[in-house]
Amino acid sequence: METNIEVTAILPTYNEAKNIIPLVNKIHTALEGRMKEILVVDDNSPDRTWEIAKTIEDKNVRVIRRTSDRGLVKSIKEGIKEAKGKYVVWMDADLSMPPEAIPKLIEQLRHHHIAVGSRYIKGGRDLRPATRKITSRMVNLAANIIANVVSNGSNTPTFRSFF
């Protein structure tokens, strides 16, 4: 299907009612002047994130409410299937990932097939509380041991983008 949309931002959500509107606004600011769509893919959040997202009066925002077969990876997959943009970005909806980095990823996609931003590489920032940072590092270490993977420390991306 031919489209003029340059970027699709996929936001898989679960209980992100307090973050969804500020995040959508930040994405709009970061992608100002670009044709874009923002897909909120919500797993039927008890805090009704999907309902709050539907109150956003913007033709560039679409909401998908998933009531069965839920999960982060499945939400991202559904978002990719629904995406209309030339470039696709997905990010957490908890405001831990800076939407201001999206244009930099898109620029890299003009020269490469994939661009990954990480809070763990040089220039990356991890603004989460110390307990979340430590827990994240421990989970990544355990996953690497279980998967028998040698890590260079940049295995937890904050954004994944492709075209």
Domain ranges of the chain: 7-120+156-162
pLDDT of 116: 78
Cα distance between the two ends of the chain: 14
Nearest of 68, 73, 92 to residue 13 by alpha carbon: 92
Distance CA 119, CA 156 (A): 7
Q: What is the mean pLDDT of each run of 10 residues along the chain (163 residues)?
A: 84 96 96 96 96 95 94 92 94 87 90 79 73 82 65 44 48
| Tokens describing residue 77 | 């997959």
pLDDT of 115: 82
pLDDT of 2: 58
Q: b/e string for 29-57 if b means 16 or more Cβ within 10 A?
A: ebbeeeebbbbbbbbebeeebbebbeebe
β-pairing, 87-91 with 157-162? antiparallel
- Could you tell me the fold of the domain covering 7-120+156-162? Spore Coat Polysaccharide Biosynthesis Protein SpsA; Chain A (3.90.550)
Residue 82 has a CB neighbour count (10 Å cut-off) of 14
